[in-house]
Structure 1
């Protein structure tokens, strides 16, 4: 149950919009944060709520993640109709006809050099890891001691500064490097336009999610999971608390669909 009266009222208003887009971050939002990225999985109740929303009429679900799309599909196991934004907006999947990400030769060379810097950094700093993406590379420091993590990020930034035009973003114990300038705000704008959504629920837990939070307008609902400065109108403490938000929206949206006679039924 949602205990924040303001959030409950916002969800009730959102549930009656003609076409709803539910766009969510994955790690730290649907799934608790874990040390090994490949071990992350959505909370069962949140995954069930996402499936229920995806099955409702005039409702589109989407995941907007810093993960590469291949990694996101493995850990999230999203409903088939769920749209996907990966690599902080650099990769998009809005259906089988969407064009895959393609880098120019210049971007490919820049990426190769960035990967070399991050690999050398990780090799010299115990507990740090490298994640590879189609348009970028990530230095993970969650399993490193704090002083080692700080030193690794500093060393990586120093090396990367010599390479030229890169998009570099700090997240929760990660340093994200991309040769494509994109962010979750651009990804959310693309989804809004592609779906014709009349209102959006967006939720996320990290600095990179704030790019999407800042795009929200009147009638939209933004939720921040966990502490930190945010442009979101509402905050909940944890992914477990966000489950209640999704379940409330499922109930409200289902009731609205039933009242309009648009809810799908199955006969025995």
Structure 2
């Protein structure tokens, strides 16, 4: 895929090249992305999501850049187990699950993920039980709605419900989270109620500091990705996938275009390496 033509806006390609030029030993670029709707097309059954072959190839190329110049991360609302199993990211990729509540790193061999320890307090566990029970009651009255269970949250999914029924269920779910004093987020056909404060923006901020990153790239498609876009600055590179309103600097239309951005970044980094990079 090296040297391929990219169906991208010239300004975006210029920004990708400028971002690649910021890589420096000891101050790596942090290249992060959402999974669903970006590297994998959205599907009705979340367990059927798979990274496209072209996305996997692009991530493999980026993973070949030395760690002191670039670190990869996938930042998702999925649980860590689900993200690791379905994304099959290159070894060394940082995995951020449950919107930042879970974290690990892809290993080259079983068990697959090196986990950062995570445990709820007794109060949080009790609140999660009430959240889960309340969402289950809401979903039981709506055909096509179902509840996903996470270590620190429960999620009401309404993608398979009739639009009007799904909207009513989402409103009820949002009200439940507010009444319980939990952390409530609405995304595309989902309402997630978490019992710990976490966001994709917080996760990226922590990673940036830990890595002493020179700059951050982030690409996402959902409402929850806006929290990541909002914490990044003018020296970073943010790309929205899809038509919704966004705080990102750039926009692409489809998952194919999103992969083209990663290919362009891999090409730009290859050019930087061949020219000797920066001291």
Q: In structure 2, what is the equivalent of residue 25 of structure 1? A: 34
Deviations 1:197-238 (A, max 9, x none): 101110000110011001111321100000111111100001
Deviation larger for 166-175 or 191-200:
191-200
Equivalent residues of 1:86, 1:92 under 8 A apart:
yes
Check if 1:205 corresponds to 2:221. Answer: yes
Deviations 1:157-202 (A, max 9, x none): 3444443x20011000000110011111001111111222101110
CA distance in 2 between counterparts of 1:178 and 1:26 reads 20
**Residues 166-181 of structure 1: pairs in structure 2 closer than 5 A:** 166-181=182-197
Q: In structure 1, what is the equivalent of residue 16 of structure 2? A: 11
Secondary structure of 1:125 counterpart: coil
Cα distance 1:110–1:238, how it changes in 2: closer, same or farther (>3 A)? Answer: same
Deviation larger for 61-70 or 193-202:
193-202
Q: In structure 2, what is the equivalent of residue 114 of structure 1? A: 131
Q: In structure 2, what is the equivalent of residue 73 of structure 1? A: 84
Question: Cα RMSD (Å) of the superposition?
Answer: 1.7
CA distance in 1 between counterparts of 2:185 and 2:277 reads 46
CA distance in 2 between counterparts of 1:243 and 1:111 reads 36
Secondary structure of 2:231 counterpart: coil
Q: In structure 2, what is the equivalent of residue 53 of structure 1? A: 62
Q: TM-score, normalised by structure 2?
A: 0.89
Equivalent residues of 1:2, 1:248 under 8 A apart:
no
Which of 253, 262, 278 lines up with 1:246 in the alignment? 262
Equivalent residues of 1:2, 1:8 under 8 A apart:
no
Check if 1:257 corresponds to 2:273. Answer: yes
Cα distance 1:109–1:252, how it changes in 2: closer, same or farther (>3 A)? Answer: same
Structure 2 gaps of 5+ residues are 1-5, 107-112
Secondary structure of 1:214 counterpart: helix
Equivalent residues of 1:22, 1:202 under 8 A apart:
yes
Check if 1:190 corresponds to 2:206. Answer: yes
Cα distance 1:199–1:162, how it changes in 2: closer, same or farther (>3 A)? Answer: closer
CA distance in 1 between counterparts of 2:204 and 2:31 reads 10
Cα distance 1:98–1:69, how it changes in 2: closer, same or farther (>3 A)? Answer: closer
Deviations 1:54-91 (A, max 9, x none): 11121100001011101101110111100011111111
The alpha carbon displacement at 1:2 in A equals: 4.0
CA distance in 2 between counterparts of 1:201 and 1:115 reads 34
Check if 1:146 corresponds to 2:136. Answer: no
Deviations 1:124-158 (A, max 9, x none): 11000111100001000001100110121233234
Secondary structure of 1:31 counterpart: coil
Count of aligned positions: 261
Structure 1 gaps of 5+ residues are 263-268
Q: In structure 2, what is the equivalent of residue 265 of structure 1? A: none
Equivalent residues of 1:117, 1:160 under 8 A apart:
no
Cα distance 1:107–1:14, how it changes in 2: closer, same or farther (>3 A)? Answer: same
Cα distance 1:249–1:261, how it changes in 2: closer, same or farther (>3 A)? Answer: closer
